[in-house]
Amino acid sequence: MKPIFILALCILPLFLQADDSLKLPLEEKEILLEQNNVERHNILGLYPSQVDVPLDGGPVDYSTLGTCNIAHAVCWSANYLAGASYRYAFLKRSGAPADIVEKARARADEIFEGVYRCQLVTGVRGLQARGYALGHGESYEERGIEPFNDSWQQGAGEYSGLRWRGDPSHHNYSDVTAGLGHYYDLAAEGPQKDRCREAIDALVGYWVDNDCKVVHIDGKKFTPILGFHDGKTLNTRIMMAIAGAKTALHATGNAKYQEMYERLIGQFGVRGLKQFTTEKDFDDAEHVFCHLENLFRIETDPELLAAYRVVLDGLWANHKDDAQTLFTYIYLSLTPDAPDRDKALKEGLYSLQTWPTDMIFQPTMSSLNPDLKPPYPMYAVAWDNEYIWKGNLLRPDGWLSRIVAGVAVPREDPLVIYAFDSHGDLYQSRDGAATAAGWRNIDAGLPSPVRAAAAGPDVRMIYVACDDGFYASLTGGYRWQRLEVPERGGKPVSVHIVPGEKNTLFAVREKSVYQTLFNRDRNFGKKWEEVIEAPNAPETALRFKADTNGVLKSDDGGNTWALKTDGLRIPRAMTVFALENTDWVFAGTPAGLYLSKDGGEHWEDGHLVLQFVKNVRRDLGGAAFIDAYWRGRYYGFISDETAKTPMS
């Protein structure tokens, strides 16, 4: 085997702010990522890839009250199971200490049990759940936190303490069959091998016995395993079914799987296959690459192996330049004579070496750096799938924050900050935007999105213009009351406060402006007077403007402008706010809210990054790294020296 060279870490663009953990040796990264998986991605062995990490540092909530992404958990767990199986097989073969080998075996068994439990929880042999949460009551999807899905059920029998997600797809069955196949051959021993055999038999038998259909829990709806096809042309979905039948035959010896295997091979012209072309689809490619890995291990027919090589080459033609380490290691393990082998191995290794150990989703705009070319280092990649190898690593931008569309600060205390985003969600910080945990959402009592806000003079006073009217809270957002602003003049546009002995609140509509006087909380906006115009913006606002390259600042009334980007994670501003009640300046960027305490010269994180539901942080987990890394060790693409060498 030719030597594998360690690529030097390229110079980091300033706004990427990568940490020193990038330089850790691969084996140390694997330990950290596995630890994170165990601590944050572990529902009785099941691996939910995307989990909400509490902003206060508390543990992840795996119950029905939490928001772990259960809907894809069985797929990601099956892929993770494959990686754990290769870990065990490599350590056992390499003569690792017995306690380390045993720990690896136990971990593979634990993940297997999580995967298998997705069958057992449904109470129907072979019907597989997408995943499960702990406890009773409605799940995150049933609460509408994610797109609503009504296919949740309470577990059957001894699994009644689990709530499971139904509506399985053919991909759920495909991923799990492939993962179980790897586990069966590489890691399952003793009683676990028998349990795995039963799991494979039940899973594949469920669609084989139902004419290639997965019948759902209601007995009426079903998912076709083969999907739409012309009855004769081989495609990736048909390959998944062929591999599933062969895996079940290999594990059980049952003749019905031999019959299904030969039926599909004959119908779709596998024997003598000369060409296989398919569109570039990272998701399907991951499925078929992993299935082919199993097929090349268990199939002995030379004619079929030749056909599977054609399929393998067809997939590789789409992905050979994508730095997809998993794809690279599978393909090159099966094709020692592949051209451009050295290039592919270097790029595959580079993806692992530049992998971050902090898997919190970060907004990424690599397109702003013209010197950064694909394949990107992994810390700069906009992952577009929960399981990284199912996504496009060449995509430069992604997971951007919703833009902060407005900021308000009360005169009483500038460390109390109100902000709303482009969705119209409203937030309050009580610590000067110093922490993510310091922000809380306060629009629960509002019937429509916020489009403008004004604060004060007291910290508890916040006034907003919403799509359907004007509202006020004198309780910091705990309770809201609709203001009786006359409805003439069109839609609400904005609100303003002019403080004084008698504070004035202006409510601005499209074609009219109204004002009311109030003394703290005695007048709650019941008497309004139409006026000619709202107050002018403060002079400080004229010193700053947003720019696609950062924030522009003027010290001479707008005659000249200087670009200010120091401290911005992504050097792009969509909104800028210089307010009357504070010397701080705020900027809405694709990386979230930023603020400056020195007149726009330097910027710091405002900790309001709005990527998902409200202001949450989501952790992706490290199963994809583990899946590829241990294949690299097993196949000899990553030597002991390479695994132990830190990046320079």
pLDDT in tens, 511-533: 999 999 876 555 567 789 999 88
> Which tokens in the block code for residue 358?
């902090």
pLDDT band for 1, please (50, 70, 90 cuts).
very low
How far apart (Å, rounded) are the C-alpha atoms in residues 55 and 620? Answer: 15
pLDDT of 541: 56
pLDDT one-digit tens code per residue, 459-484: 999 999 999 999 999 999 999 999 99
The mean-pLDDT minimum among 19-23, 130-134, 358-362, 496-500 falls in 19-23
Contact 149, 141 (CB under 8 A): yes
pLDDT of 22: 85
pLDDT band for 540, please (50, 70, 90 cuts).
low
How far apart (Å, rounded) are the C-alpha atoms in residues 138 and 63? Answer: 10
Helix (H) / strand (E) element for 84: namely helix 73-94
pLDDT of 522: 57
Residue 142 has pLDDT above 70, yes or no: yes
pLDDT of 647: 83
pLDDT band for 542, please (50, 70, 90 cuts).
low
pLDDT of 385: 84
> Which tokens in the block code for residue 9?
């870490």
Contact 412, 520 (CB under 8 A): no
The mean-pLDDT minimum among 162-166, 235-239, 291-295, 576-580 falls in 576-580
pLDDT of 6: 31
pLDDT band for 4, please (50, 70, 90 cuts).
very low
CA distances from 647 to 3, 9, 526 (A): 17, 7, 67
Mean pLDDT of 154-177: 97
pLDDT of 16: 44
Residue 14 has pLDDT above 80, yes or no: no
pLDDT of 93: 97
Residue 393 has pLDDT above 70, yes or no: yes
The mean-pLDDT minimum among 4-18, 120-134, 401-415, 587-601 falls in 4-18
How far apart (Å, rounded) are the C-alpha atoms in residues 233 and 27? Answer: 43
Domain boundaries, the chain: 404-605
Mean pLDDT of 8-26: 59
Burial of 63 (0-12, 13-18, 19+ CB in 10 A): middle
The listed range with the strongest mean pLDDT (6-10, 15-19, 536-540, 607-611) is 607-611
Contact 363, 401 (CB under 8 A): yes
pLDDT band for 7, please (50, 70, 90 cuts).
very low
Angle at 623 between CA 388 and CA 283, to 5 degrees: 35
pLDDT of 10: 35
Residue 129 has pLDDT above 50, yes or no: yes
| CATH fold of the domain at 404-605 | Neuraminidase (2.120.10)
Q: Greater confidence, 374 or 625?
A: 625
pLDDT one-digit tens code per residue, 29-72: 999 999 999 999 999 999 999 999 999 889 999 999 999 999 99
Helices (H), 7-126: 26-40, 73-94, 98-120
Helix (H) / strand (E) element for 633: namely helix 623-635
pLDDT band for 538, please (50, 70, 90 cuts).
low
pLDDT one-digit tens code per residue, 328-385: 999 999 999 898 899 999 999 999 999 999 999 999 999 999 888 889 999 988 877 8
Q: DSSP labels for 258-287?
A: HHHHHHHHHHTT-TT---------HHHHHH
High-pLDDT (> 90) share of the chain, %? 85
Mean pLDDT of the chain: 93
How far apart (Å, rounded) are the C-alpha atoms in residues 391 and 70? Answer: 19
